[in-house]
Amino acid sequence: MYDFEHLNYLFALGILPLLVFLFIGMVYWRKKKLQKIGTEKLVNEQILGFIPGRNTLKFILLVIALFMIIGGWANLHKPLDDKGENVQRKGIDVIIALDVSKSMLATDVQPDRLTRAKQLIMRMTDKMKNHRVALILFAGKSYLKMPLSVDYNRIKMLLENVSPASVPTQGTVLAEAIEMATNSFAQNERKYKSLILITDGEDHDENAIEKTRAAAEQGVVVHTVGVGSPQGITLFDPDTRAVKLDENGNPVISKLNEDELKLIASAGHGSYSLLQNTDDVASKIMGELDGMEQKSLGSEIFSDANYTSYFQYFLFTGFLLLLIEWLIPGTNMRIKMKQNGSIA
């Protein structure tokens, strides 16, 4: 069965009717202008080298050439083997809540806490197959950056531009992130749900444990990942590179709050991980997720068939027609040269 590999590219064909409309409009406009001078036939005879229908022929060749090039771009192909396998997809819903507060720019882990956290998320999505995933960014406020989806490439693209500027309100409010994640899951299910909280744990919100217990009652398993070191490090202003000072003029030390993250994981019936080796932590968390009871997410047909592509025939024909259109003169050059010679 023939089909196009990039079906969405065919939307570009919409430009062809527009070109036809503009060409017809130009022909009509030209005809009106010539009628003001005299009969169309008489005026055309006075134009040196004019060939009736030549412009129309060149335009038709151009339109067909564009049609063929767009068709080649979309790549018409046919599978050599039409056999496919109907595979039932099973997985769970996973929400990743990422701390983007300014303390995540601390460099007690290299290159900094936030970069390492983003690397972890990318590594986890590399290992995902069927789970739906969403992304929440939080600091002083929480924002749902991407709803539940299996579009792993999208979450990777979003992470490229994530920074403390992504959330205008600074601070670290874990309770709000946990509550937003709980509300973002399907409310009619009591399982198949997991929240991964990635943060340095610098939280002064006493409601975090309470919100985690509420999430667990809704069937959400909460895993926490600590980013940073318990010993801490002096924070620097990202703009001035000066040491940040508290209200008493003392340097601000940012420390990983492992105790709170362990309590949250325990209340959420999940696990706590210290982010040291990115691949090890990603494998550990994915093992936890894959070991959960999973729900059916529908079926997909997967095929290992090889394809025969025909794009090269479309492109060759298209560029050949463009060459022919370019080589065909718009006027009779012999008549023009003869007339010019007689004038000289």
Taking the C-alpha atoms of residue 174 and residue 164, their distance in angstroms, rounded to an integer, is 15
* Res 284 pLDDT > 50: yes
**pLDDT of the residue at 150:** 87
User: Given 3-state DSSP classes, what are the helix, strand and coil percentages for the chain, each rounded to the nearest 5?
Assistant: 45, 20, 30
Taking the C-alpha atoms of residue 54 and residue 290, their distance in angstroms, rounded to an integer, is 67
**pLDDT of the residue at 88:** 64
Residues 37 and 180 in one domain: no
The answer to whether the beta carbons of residues 4 and 10 sit under 8 Å apart is yes
* Res 56 pLDDT > 50: yes
For residue range 124-172, what is the model confidence (pLDDT) as tens digits?
A: 999 988 899 999 999 989 999 999 988 898 999 999 989 888 888 777 7
Long-range own/partner contacts, residues 119-122 (CB < 8 A, 24 or more apart): 119/278, 120/198, 120/225, 120/275, 120/278, 120/281, 120/282, 121/96, 121/155, 121/159, 121/198, 122/156, 122/159
What average pLDDT score do residues 223-250 get? Answer: 78
The answer to whether the beta carbons of residues 172 and 202 sit under 8 Å apart is yes
How many other β-carbons are positioned within 10 Å of the β-carbon of residue 255? 17
Q: Tell how far CA 60 is from the center of its chain.
A: 38
Residues 202 and 294 in one domain: yes
**pLDDT of the residue at 43:** 54
Nearest to 170 by CA among 141, 193, 197: 141
Residues 30 and 58 in one domain: yes
Distances (CA, A) of 300 to 2, 78, 136, 199: 20, 19, 28, 36
Residues 112 and 204 in one domain: yes
Residues 108 and 173 in one domain: yes
For residue range 319-337, what is the model confidence (pLDDT) as tens digits?
A: 999 999 888 876 655 554 5
The beta-strand segments (E) located in the chain are 3-4, 76-79, 85-91, 93-99, 132-138, 142-149, 193-199, 220-226, 233-234, 253-254, 272-274, 295-302, 307-309
Q: What letter does residue 242 receive in the DSSP assignment? A: P
Taking the C-alpha atoms of 185, 188, 190 and 195 in order, what is their torsion angle to the nearest 10 degrees?
A: 0
**pLDDT of the residue at 50:** 55
Taking the C-alpha atoms of residue 239 and residue 85, their distance in angstroms, rounded to an integer, is 55
Residues 256 and 123 in one domain: yes
For residue range 152-165, what is the model confidence (pLDDT) as tens digits?
A: 989 999 999 898 88
**pLDDT of the residue at 83:** 53
* Res 344 pLDDT > 50: no
For residue range 10-40, what is the model confidence (pLDDT) as tens digits?
A: 899 999 999 999 999 988 887 787 677 655 5
Nearest to 260 by CA among 108, 99, 100: 99
**pLDDT of the residue at 30:** 76
**pLDDT of the residue at 302:** 45
Give the chain's mean pLDDT. Answer: 84
Whether the CA torsion 30, 31, 35, 38 is positive or negative: it is positive
**pLDDT of the residue at 144:** 94
Residues 150 and 256 in one domain: yes
Residues of the chain above pLDDT 70, percent: 80
Taking the C-alpha atoms of residue 19 and residue 70, their distance in angstroms, rounded to an integer, is 15
Residues 95 and 57 in one domain: no
* Res 301 pLDDT > 50: no
Q: Is 241 left (phi over 0), alpha (psi -120 to 50) or beta?
A: left
* Res 64 pLDDT > 60: yes
* Res 48 pLDDT > 70: no
Domain count, the chain: 2
Beta-carbon contacts of residue 220 (< 8 Å; ≥ 6 apart):
181, 182, 185, 193, 194, 195, 268
Residues 295 and 310 in one domain: no
For residue range 191-204, what is the model confidence (pLDDT) as tens digits?
A: 899 999 999 987 66
Residues 74 and 182 in one domain: no
Taking the C-alpha atoms of residue 304 and residue 80, their distance in angstroms, rounded to an integer, is 10
Taking the C-alpha atoms of residue 56 and residue 227, their distance in angstroms, rounded to an integer, is 68
CATH number at residue 191: 3.40.50.410
* Res 311 pLDDT > 70: yes
Residues 132 and 50 in one domain: no
Largest separation between any pair of C-alpha atoms in the chain: 100
Residue 26 has φ and ψ, to the nearest 5°, of: -65, -45
Domain span including residue 39: 3-81+306-343
Structure tokens at 92: 């769970």
Residues of the chain above pLDDT 90, percent: 49
Bridge-partner residues for 198, per DSSP? Answer: 98, 225
Residues 172 and 290 in one domain: yes
